[in-house]
Amino acid sequence: MKKEVKFSLVFRDMWQSAGKYVPRVDQLVKVAPAIIEMGCFARVETNGGGFEQVNLLFGENPNKAVREWTKPFHEAGIQTHMLDRALNGLRMSPVPADVRKLFYKVKKVQGTDITRTFCGLNDVRNIIPSIKYAKAAGMISQCALSITHSPIHTVEYYTNMALELIKEGADEICIKDMAGIGRPVSLGKIVANIKKAHPEIPIQYHSHAGPGFNMASILEVCEAGCDYVDVGMEPLSWGTGHADVISVQAMLKDAGFQVPEINMEAYMKVRAMVQEFMDDFLGLYISPKNRLMNSLLIGPGLPGGMMGSLMADLESNLESINKYKAKRNLPFMTQDQLLIKLFDEVAYVWPRVGYPPLVTPFSQYVKNLAMMNVIAMEKGKERWGMIADDIWDMILGRAGRLPGTLAPEIIEKAEREGRKFFDGDPQDNYPDALDKYRKMMKENKWDLGEDDEELFEYAMHPAQYEAYKSGKAKEDFLADVAKKKAERDKSPMDDAKPKKLTVQVDGQSYSVTVAYGEADLPKEDAAAPVVSGEGKDVLSPLEGKFFLTKDTSEAPLKVGDVVKEADVICYVEAMKTYNAIRAEFGGTVTAILVNNGDAVSEDDVLMKIQ
């Protein structure tokens, strides 16, 4: 009989790989006993990157959610683990050092045993502080190798990275095959090399099913000495998700490994509850295509964890492209055509921005760059027209050292715009901030929370936390769910009902009603001019959410402020990045026409400048 292999249910990532949201805390607490009853999991992934922002978007307190969700697993002797993004903590952008230190203290007392730390650039300088912070807080420090496939990312590259992290104090190593494109034989060699040097270090393998390699990869890494395997289960396994525990268990048992038995009655309970949650509202945000495996994913190497949000993004971007085509009587594009163009553009962009491993947030950055390029080129413009500030931070080295070299066209653009490259410690760019947030919470009369957990949440997710505290987050979420349900349940006749649109004729905006067939239109709906302020329109270049500032360090623009050409005047958050909107002309701001957090479409008027 071969060695024992244990299983971890990646319940957080199961949902993130499928769609936009994870279950509410009441749903999590409901499913926990059945997961425990399955009897086959040594570990469960309970929280981490993306999870707590989703709680805030629901209008839920994420600290309460983590405490309640981890508690039953602790009582059952099952370890809980979470995903963290090193320099970026639990968000998409870098985090000050004092906030990172507090992060591990808070998560330990809330009930999380293991932190899986990865750097999206595989820059160990970003991971090493997290090892020290996690261990000081009493957590198990599991460090991840973000696996991708390129001329740079070799067996030797990953072996050396693992050995350096172990030397710096890592308790465990995770082979984080986030796109499932790691080649089985190469992954086996990496695990064997680590085990040869450090047989005492536990190794956990994480992979996604999408491109079709991962069952072979699981077998290879287990033959090489892997200790834990991340698994999913129906109805959220396979596709962009993870291999199902039933299949993995059967394969490893046949290969002679010691593996736990599965209580199938409990499996069916969990399966039914997951489906119940999807039927409630979560399925509204899950594309049916995420249930499919697709070898086309081998080329772009995009991770399963972002494919759920990608398919949602495609719908809005496709709408934007087709609006442009409709105005010019051009043939519409299909979603499949857009997806193929996007994959091709990712393959073009990725090497030119230095081969960052395609994992959060850098997978989103590469995908967003590719998507912006595709949209621009479909509209007759050139590549690289819109690069968000966070993406520039990656390109310039402020987020860490890129594995590869930048293309001359990117370097030339940076120099042309006066941007400076950085090769120092990335943490130096982000000074301590907890005192600032303490002061702001005191001014708002907000409680710092048990073990400073509310302070941590505000400092980690300032915009989302403010929306949660104001009630706007829950209001927007409920409105979006209602809208999604209405779209799902509408009849074909609904498309024939009159609809209000805003159109422009010779520069003048008009509100009109469009109907099909013999609809009777009220007289007041006939081409009445839209009231607007004076000045030139500032239009949104893309669809997303409007924000006057990216974080609390910036002062929001006000009516009456004077701006110069090229000044940053606001942001549109799309595809998890804040895109700076710059003034195309100077003048005085005469009107700001949308509120913070409002959804905007491409070409919506954001403000006016005279």
- Three-state DSSP string of 108-145: HHHCCCEEEECCCCCCHHHHHHHHHHHHHCCCEEEEEE
Query: CA torsion angle for 223, 224, 227, 232 (degrees, to 10)?
Result: -60
Last residue of a domain, one of 489, 518, 541: 489
* Residue 547: CATH number of its domain: 2.40.50.100
Give me the percent of the chain exceeding a pLDDT of 70: 90
Q: What letter does residue 329 receive in the DSSP assignment?
A: T
Q: What is the mean pLDDT of residues 218-238?
A: 97
Residue of 321 and 143 predicted with greater confidence:
143
Q: How far apart are CA 16 and CA 11, in angstroms?
A: 9
Last residue of a domain, one of 504, 531, 558: 531
Q: What is the mean pLDDT of residues 575-601?
A: 86
Q: Are residues 452 and 569 in the same domain?
A: no
Q: Are residues 301 and 377 in the same domain?
A: yes
Whether the pLDDT of residue 26 is over 80: the answer is: yes
Long-range contacts, stretch 564-571, CB < 8 angstroms, 24+ apart: 569/538, 569/607, 570/546, 570/606, 570/607, 571/546, 571/547
Query: CB-based contacts of 407: which residues, under 8 Å, 6+ apart?
Result: 351, 352, 353
pLDDT value at position 529?
Answer: 37
pLDDT tens across 65-119, in order? 999 999 999 999 999 999 999 999 998 889 999 999 999 999 999 999 999 999 9
Q: What is the mean pLDDT of residues 329-354?
A: 89
Whether the pLDDT of residue 520 is over 50: the answer is: no
Domain extent, residue 606, equals 533-610
pLDDT value at position 548?
Answer: 92
Q: How far apart are CA 192 and CA 187, in angstroms?
A: 9
Q: Are residues 372 and 224 in the same domain?
A: yes
Which residue is listed with tokens 């952008």?
93
Q: Are residues 523 and 447 in the same domain?
A: no
Q: What is the largest CA-CA distance in the chain?
A: 82
Whether the Cβ atoms of residue 104 and residue 134 lie closer than 8 Å to each other: yes
Whether the pLDDT of residue 233 is over 90: the answer is: yes
Half-sphere exposure (CA, 13 Å, Cβ side) for 138? 8
pLDDT tens across 404-452, in order? 999 999 999 999 999 999 999 999 999 999 999 999 999 999 999 999 9
pLDDT value at position 530?
Answer: 38
DSSP letters for 36-90: HHT--EEEEEEEETTHHHHHHHHT--HHHHHHHHHHHHHHTT-EEEEEE-GGGTT
Q: Are residues 442 and 545 in the same domain?
A: no
Last residue of a domain, one of 457, 489, 521: 489
Tokens representing 327 are: 């105005």
Q: Are residues 262 and 323 in the same domain?
A: yes
Vertex 307: Cα angle to 573 and 10 (nearest 5) = 110
pLDDT tens across 548-587, in order? 988 766 888 999 999 998 888 999 987 667 888 989 889 9
Q: How far apart are CA 550 and CA 571, in angstroms?
A: 7
**Burial class (CB within 10 angstroms; exposed 0-12, middle 13-18, buried 19+) of 207:** buried
Tell me if residue 516 falls in helix, strand or coil. coil
CA-wise closest residue to 552 among 446, 470, 395, 437: 437
What confidence category does residue 511 fall into, taking pLDDT thresholds of 50, 70 and 90?
A: low
* Residue 35: CATH number of its domain: 3.20.20.70
Whether the Cβ atoms of residue 137 and residue 494 lie closer than 8 Å to each other: no
pLDDT value at position 514?
Answer: 53
Handedness of CA 175, 177, 180, 181 (dihedral sign): negative
Whether the pLDDT of residue 285 is over 50: the answer is: yes
Say which range, 330-339, 389-398, 517-526, 578-587, has the weakest mean pLDDT. 517-526
With both helix axes pointing from N to C terminus, report the angle between 155-167 and 184-197 in degrees, rounded to the nearest 10.
30
Q: What is the mean pLDDT of residues 222-229?
A: 98
pLDDT value at position 323?
Answer: 83
pLDDT value at position 401?
Answer: 94
pLDDT value at position 494?
Answer: 59
Q: Are residues 452 and 525 in the same domain?
A: no
Average pLDDT of the chain, as a whole number: 89
Q: What letter does residue 451 receive in the DSSP assignment?
A: G
Residue of 33 and 567 predicted with greater confidence:
33
Residue of 458 and 598 predicted with greater confidence:
458
Q: How far apart are CA 476 and CA 469, in angstroms?
A: 13
Q: Are residues 497 and 355 in the same domain?
A: no
What confidence category does residue 25 fall into, taking pLDDT thresholds of 50, 70 and 90?
A: very high
What confidence category does residue 306 fall into, taking pLDDT thresholds of 50, 70 and 90?
A: low
Whether the Cβ atoms of residue 543 and residue 574 lie closer than 8 Å to each other: yes
Q: Are residues 527 and 538 in the same domain?
A: no
CA-wise closest residue to 50 among 105, 10, 98: 10
Q: What is the mean pLDDT of residues 365-369?
A: 89
CB atoms within 10 A of CB 407: 15
CB atoms within 10 A of CB 289: 16
Q: Are residues 157 and 23 in the same domain?
A: yes
Which residue is listed with tokens 């050409």?
565
Q: Are residues 505 and 572 in the same domain?
A: no
Whether the Cβ atoms of residue 546 and residue 578 lie closer than 8 Å to each other: no
Q: Are residues 385 and 512 in the same domain?
A: no
Vertex 513: Cα angle to 609 and 325 (nearest 5) = 65
What confidence category does residue 525 fall into, taking pLDDT thresholds of 50, 70 and 90?
A: very low
Q: How far apart are CA 538 and CA 550, in angstroms?
A: 18
536 forms bridges with which residues in the sheet?
609
pLDDT value at position 423?
Answer: 92
| Sheet arrangement for strand 508-514 | 499-505, 508-514, 528-529
Give me the percent of the chain exceeding a pLDDT of 90: 62
* Number of DSSP helices (H) and strands (E) in the chain, helices first: 20, 19
- Structural domain count, the chain: 3
